[in-house]
């Protein structure tokens, strides 16, 4: 019995839909996404012509100024502590419930005055090779570590990108690991982001993550690398992702510790069902085991409420809080160290620790990072990145770049650490990172994994390189 007229029409429609879907799946899905970005100038005056652009790479030494140290110590001595303290269990110990623990702040104060040696830190930093080069009107600082273990083998170029409130210091232990390697040839590049550390701060607005991605691409090209691997955390994950989107022919691989998802309506539905019905809808068995009891919507919203205040402040009025942080070294230390504490621990870890959970690091590591912000006066310019990012998102101008996927040709490794701020399920991550080669779990470590777990981080990078 033949098909009725209606059935034939329906069959034809289904066939046409199948052909269109097949075309998109087989051809358009394989076509690399095409992204673009405006070329902007962030220095003083007008942008020089291409012929007049300074392409030189100049050696740089980390400066030491005794007057800065004396001024810092004087200000720390004169810190005006808040009163009164809140009594907990009949003792004047607030367990960080209201913010950075007073007792920990007092111990940091004493260490800064009596023990910490910034001059020694500067001398150690200058055992590395530092350079500066001008890109987009800004002098960009970077550390370069070149290891040549096999003379006839091409070097692997690796770009390490830090975030806030970190710095290039986060990756120096990892660089030492690579430098002691006997199996590979490496060219390690560790820059300071624009507005951070020894890199110039932008003199014009608009320095968002995509613009930083463009600057980092120019840096790698200037150093002679047409192909390289990018590794990053925090803002480094954002910037590295944009580099892989904008320059897929140059980015040989991307390793990140913080996924920047592009959530669709489907993902929100999946998240809702997984949180309120059963995690198996969204999570694989290994993910459920890794997350344990952390996959809880109520607890996570509470966590975001408590930890997200800094983001709103820095994304709306960074200069206002900048006055206070740029004026008080102990205030700056408390503001930064609170993030290092809470982003590397659970609330229980912080409350039960005698030093707010900072024992995962040495005080010299922590205060070297704080002193880098203090001596360069870059805390305000570093926080402006939040403002530029949110302003760019709100404009909708770069929506395609912010929410689009990477080209399938770019291999990706994602290292998940137990106490990282955010865990993005693998199913959702694949929507933006279609070519995930490695999906790793670490039972310890947090937001600052490269300095907290340098050996594990180094092994992850080497593991990834071996698969490229």
Residues identified as active-site: 234, 386, 447
Contact 172, 190 (CB under 8 A): yes
Phi, psi of 353 (to 5 degrees): -85, 145
Is residue 165 within 8 Å of residue 369, measured between CB atoms? yes
Residue 464 to residue 270: CA distance in whole angstroms: 30
What are the C-alpha distances in Å from 343 to residues 228, 266, 376?
A: 29, 29, 24
Please work out, in degrees rounded to the nearest 5, the angle formed at the alpha carbon of residue 420 by the alpha carbons of 419 and 425: 110
- Virtual torsion, Cα 318, 322, 323, 327, nearest 10 deg: 180
């Amino acid at each position: 019995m033949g098909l009725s007229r209606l059935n034939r029409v329906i069959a034809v429609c289904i066939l046409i839909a199948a052909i269109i879907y097949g075309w998109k799946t087989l051809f358009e899905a394989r076509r690399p996404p095409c992204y673009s970005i405006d070329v902007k100038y962030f220095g003083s005056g007008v942008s020089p012509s291409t012929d007049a652009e300074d392409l030189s790479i100049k050696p740089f030494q980390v400066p030491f100024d005794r007057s800065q140290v004396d001024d810092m110590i004087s200000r720390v001595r004169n810190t005006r502590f808040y009163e009164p303290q809140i009594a907990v269990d009949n003792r004047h110990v607030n367990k960080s419930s209201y913010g950075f623990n007073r007792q920990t702040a007092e111990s940091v104060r004493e260490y800064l005055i009596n023990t910490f040696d910034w001059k020694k830190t500067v001398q150690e930093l200058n055992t590395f090779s530092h350079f500066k080069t001008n890109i987009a009107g800004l002098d960009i600082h970077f550390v370069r570590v070149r290891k040549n273990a096999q003379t006839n083998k091409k070097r692997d170029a690796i770009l390490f990108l830090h975030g806030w409130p970190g710095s290039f210091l986060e990756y120096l232990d990892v660089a030492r690991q690579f430098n002691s390697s006997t199996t590979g040839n490496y060219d390690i590049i560790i820059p300071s982001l624009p507005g951070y550390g020894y890199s110039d701060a932008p003199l014009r607005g608009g320095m968002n993550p995509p613009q930083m991605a463009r600057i980092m691409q120019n840096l790698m090209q200037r150093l002679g690398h047409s192909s390289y691997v990018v590794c990053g955390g925090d803002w480094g994950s954002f910037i590295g992702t944009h580099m892989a989107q904008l320059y897929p022919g140059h980015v040989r691989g991307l390793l990140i510790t913080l996924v920047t998802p592009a959530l669709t309506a489907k993902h929100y539905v999946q998240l809702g069902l997984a949180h309120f019905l059963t995690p198996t809808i969204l999570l694989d068995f290994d993910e459920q085991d890794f997350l344990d009891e952390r996959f809880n919507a109520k607890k996570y919203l509470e966590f975001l409420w408590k930890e997200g205040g800094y983001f709103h402040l820095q994304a709306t009025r960074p200069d206002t809080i900048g006055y206070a942080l740029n004026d008080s070294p102990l205030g700056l230390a408390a503001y930064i160290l609170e993030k290092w504490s809470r982003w590397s621990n659970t609330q229980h870890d912080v409350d039960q620790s005698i030093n707010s959970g900072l024992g995962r690091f040495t005080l010299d590591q922590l205060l070297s990072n704080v002193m880098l912000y203090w001596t360069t006066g870059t805390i305000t310019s570093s926080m402006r990145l939040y403002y530029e990012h949110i302003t760019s998102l709100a404009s909708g101008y770069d929506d395609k770049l912010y929410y689009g996927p990477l080209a399938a040709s770019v291999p990706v490794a994602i290292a998940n650490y137990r106490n990282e701020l955010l865990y993005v399920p693998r199913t959702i991550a694949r929507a933006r990172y279609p070519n995930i080669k490695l999906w790793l779990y670490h039972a310890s470590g947090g937001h600052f994994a490269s300095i907290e777990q340098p050996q594990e981080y180094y092994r992850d990078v080497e593991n990834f390189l071996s698969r490229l």
